[in-house]
Amino acid sequence: MTRLLLFNSSVAQGHVGAQAQIFPLQRLGAEVAHVATVRFSNHPGYGRFQGEITAPAEIAALTAGLSAIGALSGLDGVLSGYLGSAETAGAVLAAVARARAESPGALYACDPVIGDHGRVYVRPGIADLLAEKALPMADLITPNPFELGLLHGAPVTHLDAARAAARALSARLRPAGPRLVLATGLTLAETPADAIDCLLVAGEACFRVRTPKLPLAASGAGDLAAALFFLEFLRARRGAAALAAMTARLFAALGATGAASELALIAAQDALVAPRRSFAPEPC
């Protein structure tokens, strides 16, 4: 049984943040403990929402409570996503360190949520904290194209640039870890108009998976991809195999969603477990 600790946003309605991750992870047989970094009515893409960012003291208290009952021992991995504010982000990283101290073999996956499509949508200080503190702690990261370029310091428009950016970020990750960089949702100059690419850098190796581009309107695909890849890697410990499994499951879920406004995770649950299509990674 794979055991994970998750720090990510919580929404009352919809499937983004933790709500795009917990059910699929559980459906695939993982045990998930979740500490919410924010508690919103819905994701801000609706144009309005209600709710609050979790206070740093609450992050620390919830983590201490988990420790008190032994829930931080025997973890296989820790995953972080949307962090809310720089102060909350600092508390999350302290909690990640505590969890790994109690589960020394646990890997840390950081989904560096900063923005998308050329726009930063997180609060000031978060991007710097991710670059300066989270990356050196992380064993693997899962940026989207905008985040990949922003963390690297240069836009990513071609395969060579994406590969170079991923390798540069990989060198900044925890030296004792696998140092994996999964760049999701890439539409590079080499990507056909009807396709989308994912790129994985694992040491000197580089793999690309290309899938048909779907008419997706829902948010949360990046959250889902990060969780699926992390789970698959924890089980297989092989980057290419984890990439292939993640891509098949992700494509199944997105295919079931179509043009809907929210990920169709409940309807797609059987397809997540046994996807009908597979996509073979190719060296790049």
Confidence (pTM):
0.97
Contact 225, 269 (CB under 8 A): no
Q: Find the Cα–Cα–Cα–Cα dihedral 55, 60, 61, 62, rounded to 10°.
A: 90
pLDDT of residue 133: 98
Percent of the chain at pLDDT > 70 equals 100
Q: Where are the alpha helices (DSSP H) in 8-85?
A: 22-27, 56-68
Question: Which superfamily, per CATH, for 3-283?
Answer: Ribokinase (3.40.1190.20)
pLDDT of residue 104: 97
User: What residues pair up with 53 in beta bridges, in sequence order?
Assistant: 38
Q: Is the pLDDT of residue 92 over 90?
A: yes
What value does the mean pLDDT of the chain take? 97
Q: Is the pLDDT of residue 44 over 90?
A: no
Task: Taking residues 187-200, report their average pLDDT.
Answer: 97
Contacts of 99 (CB under 8 A, 6+ apart): 5, 63, 72, 75, 78, 106
pLDDT of residue 125: 97
User: What residues pair up with 77 in beta bridges, in sequence order?
Assistant: 4, 107
pLDDT of residue 79: 99
pLDDT of residue 203: 86
Exposed/middle/buried for residue 177 (C-beta within 10 Å: 0-12, 13-18, 19+): middle
Closest CA to 144 of 104, 173, 115: 115
Task: Taking residues 253-282, report their average pLDDT.
Answer: 96
Q: Is the pLDDT of residue 45 over 90?
A: no
Q: Is the pLDDT of residue 189 over 90?
A: yes
Confidence at 217, pLDDT banded by 50, 70, 90: confident
Domain boundaries, the chain: 3-283
